[in-house]
C-alpha cells in the first residue's frame, strides 16, 4: 500500500463504511452489492483490456461477455431488476455491452406497451433471449419525432402493416445492435384509411431465427465512432416489409382499419423517459468514478514545490482542490438526485399504469431537464478530472479517456441536451398558471409565490441582502429565487408576440432564455435535493462532511453564475466577494477527508479499471506493467522496421 494513501485514510474524520451504506440505501444493500461484485473474481470474465484490441475484437469480446452474463445470471438466480443492473454495471466496467439496448430499451418497451396477448407471446421470447431486440427510432435525416419519415401503412386485406423507408433520410440510423439483434421495435408514422395518426411502435423481425441471416431488409453496422466500440450501432432500411397487425404495440388499429386513440399519444415515448431518468444516476456514477481516480492519484502524486521542502502531494495545491472538490461535491449531489429521479420515475409510472396520467408532463419535463443538466456537468467534469492528472490522465491506462468517450454521447442520445432543456415549455406554462392564481403542486410549487417576491432585475443596492452565505437554507432559497429566470423567458416570449411574431418564432427567439431558465430550475432542484438529504443523515460526522460538500456545491454554483444572482439582487457585491473566501475555507475543510470521501463510493479496482485510481495507490509500477502489455511490445523489433525502415 502506498504510504501517502494510508495516511490519507487515517486522517478521515468519519466512518467510510457508514457513508457507503447511505449511498447504497442501507447496509443490507451494500452487503448484497458486494456479494454481486464477487463475480469479478470469476475466471469466465477474464478478458483483455479492450484498449489493446481492434474494433472487431472488442465487439466479439463484448458479445462473449454479454452471453456469459446471461448464463451467470441464470446460474446465480439473479432476477430482481435492480440486482441485474448492479451485476451488469460491475461486469461492464467502463464500457457498454453489445446487448445493452435489449435490456434498456427493447424489453422495457415490451413491458410497458404490450397488451396481454402480446406480452404472452413476446415476453418469454425476449426474456429467454431467443429474440434479441433493438430500438429503432432515429433516422439519418431526423430525430425530431414528428419529422420521422418511416411509414407503417395498414393493409386491411391481408391484416398487415407495410413498413417502408421511402428515402435515404428515412433509413433508421444509430440503433444499437445492428449486427446482434434479430428483432427491432421500429417507430413509424401510422397510416390507416389514408390518414396519418403519428408515431407508433411496431415489432419487426430483422434476421432469421436460426441462421441470423438478414431477412429481405438492409441492416448493418454504421462504422467506428468516438467511443461505443463494443456497440454495433446500426442502420436499417425497410422496403415495403410486411408484419402482422398483432405486431403493433398497444394495438391501436382494428381489423377494419379503424384507429383507436390511446389515453395519451405520449405513452409511446415512455421508454425514452425511462432512460432519461436512469441517465441521472449514471451521471452520478461516472462523476464518482472520475473523482475517485483523480483524487486518489492526486494523493500519491508529488510534484514541484510549495515551500522548499520535499515535493508536496499535488492534492495540497489549492488549484488542484479547486478543480476536484467541487466535482466531488457534484458526485454526491447527483447521487442523491439520481435516487430522487428513480423514486419519482417509479412513483409516477406506477400511477400511469393505474390510468392516472396527471403527472406525466411533470415527469417528462423533470427527467428531460435533469438528464441534460447532469450529463452536461458530468461530461465537462470528466475532462477536468483527466486534465488534473496531467500526462498520465491522457494514457488510456487512467480510464479517464474511456470514461469520457463512453459517457459523452449521453449529452446527445435520448434527446439532444439543448432540445431536452427546451422542453421547458412546461416551466413557462407552470409560471403562467401560477401567475393566473392557480396553486401548483410538487417541485413547481415554488412558482406559486414568485409574484409576491417580485424577483426581477433590480440594482443590487436597492435590495436588502437576503442571503447568509454560510447558511445552506438561505442558499437554497436564493437558488429558488434565481429559478425565477423563467419569468425572463416568459417575458421574452411575450415581447416577441407583441412584435406580431408567430408563437413559433417568439419561442425560437427566446430559446436562449428558455434554456437558461431550465438550467436554473434544475440547478435549484439539485441544491434543494442535496440539502434535503442532509436532514435524513443522523451520524454527526457524516452530516458535517456532507454539509461542507453541499455548501461547496451551492457556493461554487453561485460563483459560476454570479451574474444571475447579482442581477436578480439576491446577493450584494460585498457578499459576492465573500464567496471565494468561503470556498477556499471549504476546500481546506474537505482536504483531510478527500480520499475517504471517494473511498465511500466503494468501487472495486476491477470496476474502475484505472491504474491511477488503484485503491493501493501503487501507480508507477503498475503503469510500467500496463505499458509492457501494449501489443506494440509483443516483439522486440516491430515488423514495420523490416518493412519500411531498414
Known binding-site residues for FAD equal 138, 176
144 binds ligand LFHR5U4W (CB under 6 A): yes
Q: Which residues lie below 8 Å from residue 276, measured CB to CB, with a gap of 6+?
A: 367, 368, 370, 371, 414, 415, 420
184 binds ligand LFHR5U4W (CB under 6 A): no
Shortest Å distance, C-beta 393 to ligand LFHR5U4W: 21
Output the CA–CA distances (angstroms, integers) from residue 542 to 12, 25, 331, 520, 551, in the order listed: 11, 15, 16, 28, 14
Task: Please name which of 342, 353, 97, 335 lies closest in space to residue 230, comparing C-alpha atoms.
Answer: 97
Task: Please name which of 465, 453, 476 lies closest in space to residue 576, comparing C-alpha atoms.
Answer: 465
**Which listed range, 38-46, 173-181, 458-466, 627-635, lies at the site for ligand FAD (CB under 6 A)?**
173-181
101 binds ligand FAD (CB under 6 A): yes
190 binds ligand LFHR5U4W (CB under 6 A): no
Task: Please name which of 479, 343, 500, 364 lies closest in space to residue 424, comparing C-alpha atoms.
Answer: 364
419 binds ligand FAD (CB under 6 A): yes
Task: Please name which of 101, 58, 171 lies closest in space to residue 405, comparing C-alpha atoms.
Answer: 58
133 binds ligand FAD (CB under 6 A): no
Pick from 149, 230, 414, 487 the residue near ligand LFHR5U4W by CB under 6 A.
414
Q: Which does 469 bind (CB under 5 to 8 A by kind): ligand FAD, ligand LFHR5U4W, none?
A: none
**For helices 540-560 and 318-353, what crossing angle results, to 10°?**
100
Radius of gyration for the alpha carbons in the chain, expressed in angstroms and rounded? 27
Shortest Å distance, C-beta 414 to ligand FAD: 6
Tell me which of 83, 414, 477, 487 is the catalytic residue. Answer: 414
# binding residues, ligand FAD (CB under 6 A) = 19
Residue 387 corresponds to which cell in the numbers above? 486534465
Q: Which does 233 bind (CB under 5 to 8 A by kind): ligand LFHR5U4W, ligand FAD, none?
A: ligand FAD
Q: What is the dihedral of CA 250, 253, 254, 258, to 10 degrees?
A: 140
455 binds ligand LFHR5U4W (CB under 6 A): no
Show contacts with ligand LFHR5U4W in window 10-49 (CB under 6 A).
Answer: 23
Q: What is the residue-wise DSSP string for 276-312? A: HHHHHHHHHHHHHHHHHHHHHHHHH-B-S-SSSSSPP
3-state DSSP helix/strand/coil percent for the chain, to nearest 5? 60, 10, 30
Pick from 176, 270, 393, 569 the residue near ligand FAD by CB under 6 A.
176
Q: Are 113 and 266 in contact (CB under 8 A)?
A: no
Q: What is the residue-wise DSSP string for 322-336? A: HHHHHHHHHHHHHHH
412 binds ligand FAD (CB under 6 A): yes
636 is known as an active-site residue: no
Question: Which residue number, 421 or 476, has a Cβ lying nearer to ligand LFHR5U4W?
Answer: 421
284 binds ligand LFHR5U4W (CB under 6 A): yes
Q: What is the residue-wise DSSP string for 143-197? A: -SGGG---EEEEETTTTEEEEE--SGGGSEE--S-TTT-SEEEEEEEEEETTEEE
Cite the annotated binding site by residue number.
138, 176
**For helices 400-407 and 270-300, what crossing angle results, to 10°?**
160
Q: Which residue lies nearest ligand LFHR5U4W, judged by its C-beta?
A: 281
CA gap 3, 617 in Å, rounded: 8
Question: Which residue number, 330 or 410, has a Cβ lying nearer to ligand FAD?
Answer: 410
104 binds ligand LFHR5U4W (CB under 6 A): yes
Q: Are 135 and 184 in contact (CB under 8 A)?
A: yes
**Which listed range, 213-221, 250-258, 282-290, 305-313, lies at the site for ligand LFHR5U4W (CB under 6 A)?**
282-290
Task: Please name which of 122, 240, 110 lies closest in space to residue 188, comparing C-alpha atoms.
Answer: 240
Is residue 53 classed as helix, strand or coil in its secondary structure?
coil
DSSP single-letter state for residue 5: H
409 binds ligand FAD (CB under 6 A): yes
Show contacts with ligand FAD in window 422-481 (CB under 6 A).
Answer: 422
Shortest Å distance, C-beta 98 to ligand LFHR5U4W: 11
345 binds ligand LFHR5U4W (CB under 6 A): no
Active site residues: 414
Judged by the rule CB under 6 A, the positions of this chain that interact with ligand LFHR5U4W are: 23, 85, 89, 100, 104, 135, 137-138, 143-146, 176, 266, 269, 272-273, 275, 278, 281-282, 284-285, 288, 335, 338, 360-361, 364, 413-415, 419, 423, 425, 601
Judged by the rule CB under 6 A, the positions of this chain that interact with ligand FAD are: 101, 135-138, 143, 174-176, 228, 233, 409, 412-413, 415-416, 418-419, 422
Amino acid at each position: 500500500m502506498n504510504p501517502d494513501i494510508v495516511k490519507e485514510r487515517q486522517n478521515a474524520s468519519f466512518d467510510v463504511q457508514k457513508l457507503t451504506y447511505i449511498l447504497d440505501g442501507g447496509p443490507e444493500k451494500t452487503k448484497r452489492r458486494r456479494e454481486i461484485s464477487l463475480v469479478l473474481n470469476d475466471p469466465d470474465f477474464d478478458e483483455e483490456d479492450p484498449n489493446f484490441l481492434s474494433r472487431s475484437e472488442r465487439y466479439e469480446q463484448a458479445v462473449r461477455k454479454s452471453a456469459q452474463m446471461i448464463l451467470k445470471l441464470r446460474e446465480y438466480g439473479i432476477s430482481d431488476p435492480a440486482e441485474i443492473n448492479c451485476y451488469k454495471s460491475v461486469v461492464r466496467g467502463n464500457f457498454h455491452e453489445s446487448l445493452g439496448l435489449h435490456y434498456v430499451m427493447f424489453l422495457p418497451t415490451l413491458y410497458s406497451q404490450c397488451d396481454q396477448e402480446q406480452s404472452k407471446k413476446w415476453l418469454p421470447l425476449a426474456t429467454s433471449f431467443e429474440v434479441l431486440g433493438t430500438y429503432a427510432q432515429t433516422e439519418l435525416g431526423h430525430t425530431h419525432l414528428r419529422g420521422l419519415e418511416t411509414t407503417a401503412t395498414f393493409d386491411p386485406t391481408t391484416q398487415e402493416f407495410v413498413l417502408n423507408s421511402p428515402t435515404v433520410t428515412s433509413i433508421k440510423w444509430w440503433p444499437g445492435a445492428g449486427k446482434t439483434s434479430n428483432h427491432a421495435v421500429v417507430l413509424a408514422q401510422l397510416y390507416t384509411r389514408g390518414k396519418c395518426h403519428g408515431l407508433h411502435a411496431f415489432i419487426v423481425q430483422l434476421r432469421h431465427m436460426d441462421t441470423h441471416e438478414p431477412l429481405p431488409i438492409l441492416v448493418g453496422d454504421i462504422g467506428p465512432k468516438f467511443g461505443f466500440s463494443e456497440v454495433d450501432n446500426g442502420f436499417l432500411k425497410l422496403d415495403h416489409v410486411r408484419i402482422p397487425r398483432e405486431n403493433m404495440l398497444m394495438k391501436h388499429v382494428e381489423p377494419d382499419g379503424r384507429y383507436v386513440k390511446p389515453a395519451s399519444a405520449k405513452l409511446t415515448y415512455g421508454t425514452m423517459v425511462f432512460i432519461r431518468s436512469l441517465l441521472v444516476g449514471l451521471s452520478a456514477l461516472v462523476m464518482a468514478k472520475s473523482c475517485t481516480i483523480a483524487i486518489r492519484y492526486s494523493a500519491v502524486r508529488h510534484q514541484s514545490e510549495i515551500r522548499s521542502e520535499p515535493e508536496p502531494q499535488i492534492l495540497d495545491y489549492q488549484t488542484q482542490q479547486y478543480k476536484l472538490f467541487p466535482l466531488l461535491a457534484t458526485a454526491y449531489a447527483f447521487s442523491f438526485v439520481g435516487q430522487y429521479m428513480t423514486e419519482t420515475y417509479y412513483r409516477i409510472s406506477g400511477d400511469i399504469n393505474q390510468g392516472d396520467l396527471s403527472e406525466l408532463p411533470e415527469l417528462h419535463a423533470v427527467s428531460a431537464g435533469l438528464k441534460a443538466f447532469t450529463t452536461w456537468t458530468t461530461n465537462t467534469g470528466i475532462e477536468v478530472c483527466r486534465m488534473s492528472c496531467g500526462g498520465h490522465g491522457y494514457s488510456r491506462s487512467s480510464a479517464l479517456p474511456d470514461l469520457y468517450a463512453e459517457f459523452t454521447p449521453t449529452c446527445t442520445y435520448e434527446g439532444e441536451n439543448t432540445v431536452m432543456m427546451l422542453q421547458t415549455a412546461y416551466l413557462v406554462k407552470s409560471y403562467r398558471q401560477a401567475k393566473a392564481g392557480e396553486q401548483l403542486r410538487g417541485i413547481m410549487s415554488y412558482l406559486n409565490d414568485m409574484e409576491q417576491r417580485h424577483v426581477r432585475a433590480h440594482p443590487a443596492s436597492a435590495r436588502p441582502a437576503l442571503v447568509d452565505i454560510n447558511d445552506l437554507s438561505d442558499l437554497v432559497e436564493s437558488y429558488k429565487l434565481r429559478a425565477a429566470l423563467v419569468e425572463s423567458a416568459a417575458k421574452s416570449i411575450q415581447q416577441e408576440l407583441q412584435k406580431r411574431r408567430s408563437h413559433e418564432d417568439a419561442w425560437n427567439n427566446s430559446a436562449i432564455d428558455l434554456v437558461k431558465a431550465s438550467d436554473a430550475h434544475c440547478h435549484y432542484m439539485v441544491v434543494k435535493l442535496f440539502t434535503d438529504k442532509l436532514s435524513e443523515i443522523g451520524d454527526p460526522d457524516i452530516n458535517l462532511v456532507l454539509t461542507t460538500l453541499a455548501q461547496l456545491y451551492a457556493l461554487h454554483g453561485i460563483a459560476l453564475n454570479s451574474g444571475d444572482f447579482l442581477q436578480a439582487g439576491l446577493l450584494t457585491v460585498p457578499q459576492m466577494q465573500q464567496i471565494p473566501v468561503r470556498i477556499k475555507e471549504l476546500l481546506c475543510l474537505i482536504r483531510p477527508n478527500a480520499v475517504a470521501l471517494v473511498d465511500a463510493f466503494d468501487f472495486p479496482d476491477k470496476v474502475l479499471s484505472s491504474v491511477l485510481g488503484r485503491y493501493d495507490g501503487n501507480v508507477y509500477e503498475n503503469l510500467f506493467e500496463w505499458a509492457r502489455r501494449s501489443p506494440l511490445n509483443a516483439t522486440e523489433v516491430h515488423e514495420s522496421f523490416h518493412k519500411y525502415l531498414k
